[in-house]
Structure formats: C-alpha cells, structure tokens
C-alpha cells in the first residue's frame, strides 16, 4: 500500500481494489477517537509485537525516530540536511531537530488520527520539547504505555535466543528449543547468538535504559497518563491490557 501513497504515484494507475480498500479503511478510521501514544520499554519487552496491533486498531501512524531520521537524510529535506551534518561530525542529532522531524511527519494523512512514538522521548528535556511542539498543534500525548518487566525475565527471554544465520530461523533454549542443542533442526548447522543477546551486553543495555527512562516515566506520571503493563504476560493478554489502557 505504501507505494500508493507516494506523491509520484498517479492515482489513475492504482488498481481499483486498492483504492476501495484504502477508502474503506479511512471511512472506518474516521469514527475512531484520536490517540497519541508513547511506548516505553526495555529491549525484549514486546513493544515490537504490540505496536503494529495498536497502529491498525486505532489507525495511527508509527513513528520510529531512527527510521525517520534516516528517511529525512535520504530525502535531503532541510531538516535531513542538518541531521546529516551532525551525523557526519559524529555528533548526536539535536533534540530540536528530532522534534522538528516528528512535527513534519505529523502532517501526513496517515498521522491524522494520531501516532505511536517508539524510542523517543528518551530524556525529560525531549519530553518537554515534544509537549511544546504538540501544544502548538493544539494536541497532547494521551497515553504512555510502560512495558514493565523484570530484568531477570528479560534476561531469560533474550539470552536464550539462538539464530541459524543463513536461514534466519530462530530458537529459544526454553520456549522453542532446537531438537539438538546448538544445532539447526533443518540443516544440522551450528546456531549462533547475536552479540546483543549476550548477558553482558544485555546488562549494560538495561542499566542504560533504566537510568535514562525513569525520569521520563516520572515526568509523564506527574501528568497522570502512564499505564503500566505487566509485559511478562503472553502477547494476547498484553494486547488486551493495551486496549483497556487506551479505551
């Protein structure tokens, strides 16, 4: 569907079934309440599983700031050019720039009913700048979904993951073990662990995550818009909790 929305595409060339599908989707969406949602959670907490479900259910656009920055740079937009200058110097892209890129994205028809922000804001200052920008648009963040999960459970989830590199097949020591430990079921080749999935890397990522995001959660807690989700539950139950929090 993405191709149909690109400006270079002539609507006359879009198959009728695609146009009708998109029209029906928009009609269905028009009656949904606007929602502006932020997802917070450590790596492996299940945000990636829930975000497409939330996106479809509430007709929101999914804003992943890393992807958006890369897209802005590739498109050579004024903000993208500034972002590239910073990246080329090895500097962090400024908060104002990132908020500016989010502001740009919100003009798209797909963001009309609201958005899901993932991976931003990561600091209290970023949260304030985001609020200021939204305020100028006459809107605000409605809900912050905090995917709360104990580090020990995450460690078990993540450090148990093994991959067969050439096929991409994934296994898990506990939840989906291979027939023979350390070996791919189909080819009999060795499995590897991604370096991000080792206990040492995970520990430092989690420490950084907690240190960075606790002030952000506190900031939104004061506004009374945080919903803490027990993210160790099975995905379907987490989805039910998400819908309850957003209703």
Q: Measured between alpha carbons, how far is residue 126 from residues 50, 93, 115, 121, 216 in Å?
A: 24, 12, 17, 5, 9
**226-230 and 35-40: which strand pairing?**
unpaired
Q: What is the Cα gyration radius of the chain?
A: 20
Active site residue 84: no
The yes-or-no answer on residue 36 being catalytic is: no
* Residue tagged active-site, from 35, 82, 122, 143: 122
**39 within 8 A of 58, measured Cβ to Cβ:** no
Which of 25, 28, 108, 194 is labelled catalytic? Answer: 194
Containing 95, the helix (H) or strand (E) segment is helix 95-105
Catalytic residue among 36, 47, 82, 143: 47
CB 116 within 8 A of CB 54: yes
In the annotation, is 194 catalytic? yes
C-alpha 59/C-alpha 67 separation (Å) is 20
Q: Is 47 a catalytic residue?
A: yes
- Are 58 and 113 in contact by the 8 Å Cβ rule? The answer is yes
Q: Which residues, 6+ apart, have CB-to-CB distance to 204 below 8 Å? A: none
Q: Residue 36: helix, strand or coil by DSSP?
A: strand
Beta bridge mates, 190: 183
Q: Cα 203 vs. chain centroid, distance in angstroms? A: 21
Beta bridge partners of 162: 171
What are the catalytic residues? 47, 122, 161, 194, 205
């Amino acid at each position: 569907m993405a191709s149909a929305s690109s400006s270079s595409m002539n609507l006359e060339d879009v198959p009728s079934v695609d146009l009708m599908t998109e029209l029906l989707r928009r009609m269905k969406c028009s009656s949904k309440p606007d929602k502006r949602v932020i997802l917070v959670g450590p790596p492996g907490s299940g945000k990636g599983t829930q975000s497409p479900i939330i996106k479809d259910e509430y007709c929101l656009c999914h804003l992943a700031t890393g992807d958006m920055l890369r897209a802005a740079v590739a498109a050579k937009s004024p903000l993208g050019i500034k972002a590239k200058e910073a990246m080329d110097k090895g500097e962090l892209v400024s908060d104002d720039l990132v908020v500016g890129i989010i502001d740009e994205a919100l003009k798209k028809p797909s963001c009309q009913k609201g958005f899901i922000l993932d991976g931003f804001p990561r600091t209290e200052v970023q949260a304030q700048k985001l609020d200021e920008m939204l305020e100028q648009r006459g809107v605000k963040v409605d809900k912050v979904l905090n995917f709360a999960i104990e580090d020990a459970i995450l460690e078990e989830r993540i450090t148990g993951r093994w991959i067969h590199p050439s096929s991409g097949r994934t296994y898990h020591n506990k939840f989906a073990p291979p027939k023979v430990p350390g070996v791919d079921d189909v080819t009999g080749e060795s499995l590897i662990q991604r370096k991000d999935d080792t206990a040492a890397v995970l520990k430092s990522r989690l420490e950084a995550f907690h240190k960075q995001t606790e002030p952000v959660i506190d900031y939104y807690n004061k506004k009374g818009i945080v919903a803490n989700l027990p993210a160790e539950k099975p995905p379907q139950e987490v989805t039910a909790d998400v819908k309850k929090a957003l209703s």
